[in-house]
């Protein structure tokens, strides 16, 4: 077996470390570290606290939650059981692809069972094919770092025989252990899941949502600090003299348990901010909506309230988010199709499915209820159709939680049934075309 030689390295370890903190529920530690770094003096005095709201998990839940939905699986019972066990890992992988740009599923046999793992972009190294660097099917090998400096490598020893895949595990001592892969796997048991605009098989961690997450927690901490100490920003001349050379002079620590002592020539002053908490929060919400728009997400994802008053109008506030979730479901279904097709040789070799059996995995969305006023909804939808902004198929798919293909069939049946019902009494169907040789009437 040839020695594995990764073609590229990822050098954004700090980004991945911060992303993992958020994903592992350690976001408060991340917030405390950034607040202490940004507000050094206030942090030393203990007069500022970190406010943490989980922006990254929230965006994942709202914009990439397709695989949290129930799955409709067709195939043998063993395959259906396997998908049910894999579903949590598939859901985590699908969400990670939106926020960190790259995620991979790793299929391995452990204790006689096929197990699925989530690997982030820094959890593996890819040795791509030089002639086709973006084709996953032609990847020459993948290496996964393990604990204690051990490594697990999947490689294709002979590029001319892509149906052969081998695996070895190298310990930190240098001892190499060949791993048994059943004949017929023919694929690297790792499959990628990343955004459509990624032009690399191993992209770095995405800083866009990560930086938005950090900026948001700093804004909240800043607002909280100014709200608590809004009328307590005081100074005295001795403090200013002690901070000669610093822009803005000195400050004065105050609070309910603080007593100030003034020297003979000391002076005391108060600086009060004119900002209001409501203005601050409006700024934060506008900032989040602008960021969402630049990230190709609907700004409504960060709306804290509805501007509408009626039930029908309120439904329009959530319409962009519903369309985003529908697109997410369709993209997830396409990815599931690719995943199942790619791993089919493994499933066949392991005896889970037959070579000719049909396998499908689809997300099943809950039905979306109609607005309170059906008339307003119908009138608004009709106007949108005339403007070319929607269609009967799209509306039915969104309302019933089904795909466009299925919705298209239903719409065609509905149109035909309505046409049949609206035929006038005595009519047997559409009038016959004139001209030609008409059949003679029977006598």
In tens, the pLDDT along 206-247 reads 888 888 888 888 888 877 777 766 555 555 555 545 544 444
Residue 345, in any domain of the structure: yes
Q: Which of 96-100, 163-167, 275-279, 366-370 has the lowest mean pLDDT?
A: 366-370
Residue 398, in any domain of the structure: yes
DSSP state letter for 318: T
Edge-first strand order for the sheet with 125-127 is 125-127, 141-145, 151-155, 166-170, 176-179
- The span from the CA of 415 to the CA of 40, in Å, is 68
* 8 Å CB contact between 52 and 28: yes
Q: Which domain holds residue 324?
A: 318-421
**What is the length of the chain?**
443
Whether the pLDDT of residue 85 is over 80: the answer is: yes
The band of 313, judged by pLDDT with boundaries at 50, 70 and 90, is: low
Residue 247, in any domain of the structure: no
The closest alpha carbon to 99, from 216, 20, 191, 192, belongs to 20
Residue 322, in any domain of the structure: yes
Tally of structural domains, the chain: 1
Residue 273, in any domain of the structure: no
- Of residues 97 and 168, more confidence is placed in 97
CA angle 48, 50, 54 (to 5 degrees): 160
What pLDDT, on a 0 to 100 scale, did the predictor assign at position 248? 44
What pLDDT, on a 0 to 100 scale, did the predictor assign at position 131? 80
Q: What is the pTM of this model?
A: 0.69
What pLDDT, on a 0 to 100 scale, did the predictor assign at position 338? 93
- Rounded to the nearest integer, the mean pLDDT of the chain is 77
Whether the pLDDT of residue 375 is over 90: the answer is: no
Residue 380, in any domain of the structure: yes
The closest alpha carbon to 81, from 353, 394, 309, 267, belongs to 353
What pLDDT, on a 0 to 100 scale, did the predictor assign at position 425? 56
Residue 19, in any domain of the structure: no
Residue 441, in any domain of the structure: no
In this structure, what is the dihedral angle of CA atoms 225, 226, 231, 232, given to the nearest 10 degrees? 40
Whether the pLDDT of residue 317 is over 80: the answer is: no
């Amino acid at each position: 077996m040839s020695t594995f030689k990764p073609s590229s390295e990822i050098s954004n370890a700090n980004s991945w470390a911060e992303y993992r903190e958020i994903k592992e529920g350690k976001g408060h530690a991340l917030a405390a570290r950034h607040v202490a770094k940004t507000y050094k003096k206030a942090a030393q005095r203990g007069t500022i606290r970190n406010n943490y709201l989980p922006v990254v998990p929230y965006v994942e839940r709202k914009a990439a939650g397709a695989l949290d939905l129930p799955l409709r699986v067709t195939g043998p019972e063993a395959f259906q059981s396997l998908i049910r066990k894999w579903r949590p890992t598939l859901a985590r992988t699908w969400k990670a692809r939106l926020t960190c740009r790259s995620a991979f599923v790793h299929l391995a046999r452990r204790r006689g069972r096929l197990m699925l793992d989530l690997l982030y972009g820094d959890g593996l190294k890819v040795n791509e094919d030089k002639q086709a660097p973006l084709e996953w099917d032609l990847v020459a090998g993948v290496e996964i770092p393990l604990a204690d400096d051990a490594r697990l490598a999947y490689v294709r020893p002979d590029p001319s025989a892509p149906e052969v895949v081998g695996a070895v595990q190298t310990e930190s001592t240098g001892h190499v252990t060949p791993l048994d892969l059943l004949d017929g796997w023919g694929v690297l048991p790792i499959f990628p899941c990343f955004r459509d605009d990624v032009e690399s098989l191993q992209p770095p961690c995405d800083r866009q949502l990560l930086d938005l997450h950090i900026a948001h927690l700093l804004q909240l901490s800043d607002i909280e600090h100014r709200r608590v100490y809004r009328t307590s920003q005081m100074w005295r001349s001795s403090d200013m003299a002690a901070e000669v050379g610093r822009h803005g002079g000195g400050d004065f620590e105050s609070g309910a348990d603080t007593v100030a002592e003034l020297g003979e020539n000391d002076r005391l002053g108060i600086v009060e901010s004119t900002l209001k908490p409501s203005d601050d929060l409006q700024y934060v919400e506008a900032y989040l909506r602008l960021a969402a728009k630049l990230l190709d997400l609907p700004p409504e994802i960060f709306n804290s309230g509805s501007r509408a008053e009626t039930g029908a109008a309120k439904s329009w506030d959530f319409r962009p988010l519903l369309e985003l979730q529908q697109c997410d479901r369709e993209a997830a279904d396409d990815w599931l199709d690719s995943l199942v097709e790619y791993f089919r040789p493994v499933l066949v070799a392991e005896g889970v499915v037959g070579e000719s059996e049909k396998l499908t995995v689809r997300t099943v969305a809950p039905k979306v209820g109609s607005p309170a006023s059906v008339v307003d909804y119908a009138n608004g939808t009709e106007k949108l159709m005339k403007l070319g902004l929607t269609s009967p198929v799209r509306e039915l798919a969104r309302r019933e939680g089904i795909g466009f293909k299925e919705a298209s069939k239903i719409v065609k049946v509905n149109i035909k049934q309505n046409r049949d019902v609206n035929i006038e009494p005595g009519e047997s169907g559409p009038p016959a075309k004139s001209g030609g040789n008409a059949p003679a009437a029977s006598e």
